[in-house]
Structure 1
Amino acid sequence: MTRLVLLHGIAQQHKGPDSLLADWYPALSDGVTLTGAELSREDVAMAFYGDLFRPPGHRGLGEPDLDASDVEEGLERDLLLAWWEVAAREESQVPGPDAAARIRTPYLMQRALDALSHSAFFAGLGDRLLISDARQVRRYFTEPDLRAAVHARFLHALTDRTEVVVAHSLGTVVAYETLCAHPELPDLTLITLGSPLAVRGLVLDRLVPAPHDGHGRWPVPVKRWTNLADQGDIVALAKQLAPVFGARVTDVLVHNGAKAHDVRPYLTARETGHVIAAALGGAVGRH
């Protein structure tokens, strides 16, 4: 009965498909309700892959300790620096990369982590969680078996009745790559929330299929693609996807308040509800 499939992003490794759906569905329903429509929970499924990033048991408590010395060169480092640069530009309380380094923290990665600790966007995330988030992105792009397993989870959630895919954050990359790899899938509407797909150097150039002359391939099963982004969403560094993936993408700006990248305000937005209701057509119930 699955008509709509949800696809999450990073930092969900300690949840599961049912618990995550229970967290997302009320917001999804609220957004659709604003349009005068309704969406049954039985029509919605969560494509869950977070457990693939869950580390094995260890003797310590909580997440394994990580600090600036654990940040790997390449994507992990570059991603944290990009977040730092944008956070400093958007939030006056965040010292920028050009600010004078404090004597106690001359190390570049430690400076970045210290600066991000002042960001409202990353409120509550310590060094360990910031590094863990960047590491999940790096692992997705650099570990082929893991990447394939994530794609398989999404593919398994799709049915011949699926009409809409709503993907958030790294989940937009998973959706894009999987749909490109399976042109035989039935037509569907793709809705991306807080997507980093068009971020050059960090994400776009690592996609499969690779972009050609700076432009990404259109995923064949997608008949409509709407991308929603908050101007303050640091993860969605490039707010518009149409310049990269073609004019058929409809880019929409929304306002999510302080939690710019949180999926729930994305889902409760009237703009998101309208796109979902339109994609599901007359079969969506009316109040």
Structure 2
Amino acid sequence: MAEVVIIHGAFHELWGPFRLWVRWTPSVLDGLWNARVPVQDVSLSRLQERSQVAFWGDLVRPEPRSADRQPGDDGTDDGTVGPTPDLADLLDGHPAVAGVDGAGLDALVQQVARDTNARSMELLARYVLDPDMKSRVHERLERHLDADTRVVVAHSLGTVIAYQVLCTRPDLQVDLITLGSPLGDRAMVFDTLEPAPVDGRGVWPAAVRRWTNVAAEGDLATAACPRLADRFGERVEDHLVFNGRHAHNVEPYLNSAPTGAALADALGLPRRS
């Protein structure tokens, strides 16, 4: 089995584990480079041999309602959540925003980021309230975990999934890297966790020996509590990074130096001082 297991968040239902694995592992390699891992000690092919993506997006992919469904109707009006591409990628060079100044573009990005975050919360609510869905999603991560697993890298809603699964696996000893995590949000996530927090403090996951949390400036998913040490104790190592207009995008998180350093340590890779 894989030494590195990556679990995604919301809005990947139109892709699959191999597409995400091919797309994300170069960013993981960039993170190792940013963490000053000598390039001769790691390669993309070797990294890909050691990693897998725990994919659950197909479990929430909406079914078509009818043959005459209109273009752009993504099903959100009936409780399903359609995919959302990276907004900043869409807007870069788009003729509709060609005349908009930097402040105006930032405002537009922030507004759609708020809309995207709201849709992420809808999917989170489905996950929390539907025991069957939660069980099937958890199984997708469980199938990748065994004694060979050294680190779990989780993004967004994937951090909620990873946390709850790792709480049930005292037989494992892994590092956990959480990226853009809403775990500290009391209203939406923290108070719904299983196992439940004790006296306002989250339970330390039984499988986790080291926990690194990375939050980006301006990431709405982390806004309620960017420092997870405030919820789960000082053993959590918190880092703040800058992802620009891609605040919640997984790839800038993966290629950041704190993520790369945590991954290098988990894999025993040397880093230049």
Residue 285 and residue 151 in structure 1: after superposition, are their counterparts in 2 closer, same or farther (change >3 A)? same
What code does the residue aligned with 1:57 have?
A: P
How many residues align? The count is: 241
Of 197, 202, 206 in structure 2, the residue corresponding to residue 220 of structure 1 is 206
- State yes or no: 1:120 paired with 2:109: yes
In the alignment, the residues of structure 1 paired with residue 216 and residue 118 of structure 2 have an alpha-carbon distance, to the nearest angstrom, of 23
Partner secondary structure for residue 154 of structure 2: strand
Q: Deviations over 1:79-127 (max 9, x none)?
A: xxxxxxxxxxxxx879xxxxxxxxxxxxxxxxxxxxxx9541454x796
Aligned match of 2:218: 232
Note the C-alpha offset of 1:36.
Answer: 2.1
Distance of 1:227 and 1:132 partners within structure 2: 23
Per the alignment, residue 92 of structure 2 pairs with: none
Q: Give the Å deviation of 1:257.
A: 1.2
State the SS of the aligned residue for 1:32.
helix
Task: Indicate the SS of the match to 2:149.
Answer: coil
Contact 1:121 1:259 in 2 (8 A): no
Q: Does 1:138 align with 2:145?
A: no
Find the aligned partners of 1:43 and 1:285 in 2 and give their Cα distance.
Answer: 19
Letter in 2 for 1:133: S
The root-mean-square deviation of aligned C-alpha atoms, in Å, is 2.8
Match of 2:179 in 1: 193
Give the corresponding residue for 1:53: 60
Distance 1:167 1:26 in 2: 16
Is the CA contact (8 Å cut-off) linking 1:71 and 1:131 kept in structure 2? Answer: no
Q: Residue 74 of structure 2 is aligned with which of 64, 70, 90?
A: 64
**Unaligned 5+ residue runs, structure 2?**
82-102
Residue 131 of structure 1, CA deviation? 5.8
In the alignment, the residues of structure 2 paired with residue 66 and residue 231 of structure 1 have an alpha-carbon distance, to the nearest angstrom, of 28
Structure 1 Cα separation of the partners of residues 25 and 31 of structure 2 = 10
Aligned partners of 2:194, 2:143: CA distance in 1, in Å? 19
Indicate conservation of the 8 Å contact 1:2/1:43, yes or no.
Answer: yes
Normalised to the residue count of structure 2, the TM-score between the two structures is: 0.80
* Whole-angstrom distance in 2 between the partners of 1:218 and 1:273: 23
CA distance in 1, matches of 2:142, 2:111: 31
Confirm whether residue 158 of structure 1 aligns to residue 171 of structure 2.
Answer: no
Residues 114, 220 of structure 2: 8 Å contact kept: no
Report the Cα offset of residue 275 of structure 1.
1.0
CA offset at residue 65 of structure 1? 4.3
CA distance in 2 between counterparts of 1:47 and 1:241 reads 23
1:146-198 CA-partner distances (Å, limit 9, x unpaired): 001111100101132110000000000000000112222x2110000010001
Structure 2 CA distance for aligned equivalents of residues 210 and 126 of structure 1? 28
8 Å Cα contact 2:197/2:203 also seen in 1: yes
In 1, Cα distance between the equivalents of 2:148 and 2:177? 17
Aligned to 2:192: 206
Please state whether the residue corresponding to 1:235 is helix, strand or coil.
helix
Aligned residue type for 2:109: A
Match of 2:29 in 1: 29
